[in-house]
Chains A and B, each alone.
Chain A
Amino acid sequence: DAGVIQSPRHEVTEMGQEVTLRCKPISGHDYLFWYRQTMMRGLELLIYFNNNVPIDDSGMPEDRFSAKMPNASFSTLKIQPSEPRDSAVYFCASSLGGVSNQPQHFGDGTRLSIL
């Protein structure tokens, strides 16, 4: 079975540019999570969706961040405008049947560098 698929794997861009990260969850999974991971802060939950509906975006750091899930097989995380402090690894994860009592399956991540 295909796992969670993220693209791009690496992104290097200049400050002020728009960045779009993409995620395809595991087919049939009804929860989708976006995380950011840094050495200092560890793994931080940014936002999660249930059946394509955003449930909790309290982890989104600023209005510069936005996320959408137009259908069950696709989600985007957008940063506009990007800043150097946004540099991190961004993971997408999905799970089936529960927001916290079911294991989450992670994609390979997008390593984002803002110059």
Chain B
Amino acid sequence: QKEVEQNSGPLSVPEGAIASLNCTYSDRGSQSFFWYRQYSGKSPELIMSIYSNGDKEDGRFTAQLNKASQYVSLLIRDSQPSDSATYLCASDSLSGNTPLVFGKGTRLSVIA
């Protein structure tokens, strides 16, 4: 049973701080990883994808992948109240022929 685990939170950080969101996955063969942001009452919105070990930066967002540790993280620099949302981590499977597996999400609250 493939699993993606996330701490449900809430994770509270002050405005301007770095928010660090973490995700672990069970399928060692997973190759593709995605971070989605979901505002309350809205649909998930893709914000980052990462396929290789290391860091990938996009604006204030940095995704980090460590396949040896089966660990994916999302860093949000200079956190803003508008970043308050639930962040979903998703990964694929070894075969690549089965759909993404989503974690249950971490709720982030940025305090002004």
Q: Which residue of B lies closest to A98 (CB)?
A: B96
B104 pairs with A109, CB closer than 8 A: no
B98 pairs with A103, CB closer than 8 A: no
Task: Find the residue from A42, A45, A100, A108 having the highest chain B CB count within 10 A.
Answer: A100
A108 pairs with B42, CB closer than 8 A: yes
CB within 8 Å of B: which of A18-36? 33
B93 pairs with A42, CB closer than 8 A: no
Q: Which of A45, A91, A106 contacts B99 (CB 8 A)?
A: A45
Q: Which residue of B lies closest to A31 (CB)?
A: B99
| Interface assignment of B73: CB less than 8 Å from any CB of chain A | no
B43 pairs with A109, CB closer than 8 A: yes
**Chain B 72-97 near chain A by CB (<8 Å), digits 1 or 0:** 00000000000000001000110011
**Chain A 52-63 near chain B by CB (<8 Å), digits 1 or 0:** 000010000000
Would A101 and B88 be within 8 Å (CB), given that A48-B99, A91-B43 are in contact? no
A101 pairs with B96, CB closer than 8 A: yes
| Interface assignment of A12: CB less than 8 Å from any CB of chain B | no
B98 pairs with A99, CB closer than 8 A: yes
A103 pairs with B102, CB closer than 8 A: no
Would A106 and B97 be within 8 Å (CB), given that A101-B32, A101-B92 are in contact? no
CB within 8 Å of B: which of A58-115? 91, 98-101, 103-109
Chain B residues within 8 Å of A56, by CB:
98-99
Q: How far is the CA of A105 from the CA of B45 in the complex (A)?
A: 7
Mark B residues whose CB is within 8 Å of A.
Answer: 31-32, 34, 42-46, 49, 51, 88, 92-93, 96-100, 102-105
